[in-house]
């Protein structure tokens, strides 16, 4: 492990792609700024450990087989109603009016 000393606003560059900057120091808390390419995942150690644990569990987890669905024919289409929709009713989703109720 490489151990470096840095002051506030000083940085460390890793592989020419990742920059770690000391942003603030509050007692025993150090705030870091990390600039990395979007394809490089950056996680806190506890989050990374949880991701790895979940991945290991997912690999070894036995999933129950899903039941196969029986192929059933679709019901026949209902006959067309004698009512018609006005363009406004079609857009608004309102009920059609009967032909003799037309304005």
Residue 47 or residue 93, greater confidence: 47
pLDDT band for 88, please (50, 70, 90 cuts): low
Mean pLDDT score, 78-95: 59
- The full length of the chain comes to 103
Q: Which residues of 66-90 are buried (b: 16+ CB within 10 A; e: fewer)?
A: eeeeeeeeeeeeeeeeeeeeeeeee
The two structure tokens encoding residue 24: 């603030």
Supply the pTM of this predicted model.
0.54
Residue-averaged pLDDT of the chain: 83
Residue 96 or residue 3, greater confidence: 3
**Cα 94 to the chain's mean position, in Å?**
36
CA dist 86 and 10 (Å) reads 70
Residues above pLDDT 90, as percent of the chain = 54
């Amino acid at each position: 492990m490489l151990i470096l000393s840095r002051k506030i606003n000083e940085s460390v560059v890793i592989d020419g792609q990742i920059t770690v900057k000391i942003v603030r120091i509050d007692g025993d808390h150090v705030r870091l700024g990390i600039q990395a390419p979007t394809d490089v995942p950056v996680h806190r150690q506890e989050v990374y450990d949880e991701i790895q644990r979940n991945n290991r569990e997912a690999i070894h987890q036995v999933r129950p087989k899903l039941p196969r669905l029986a192929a059933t024919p679709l019901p026949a289409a209902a006959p067309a109603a004698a009512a018609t929709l006005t363009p406004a009713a079609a857009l608004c989703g309102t009920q059609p009016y009967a032909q003799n109720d037309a304005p």
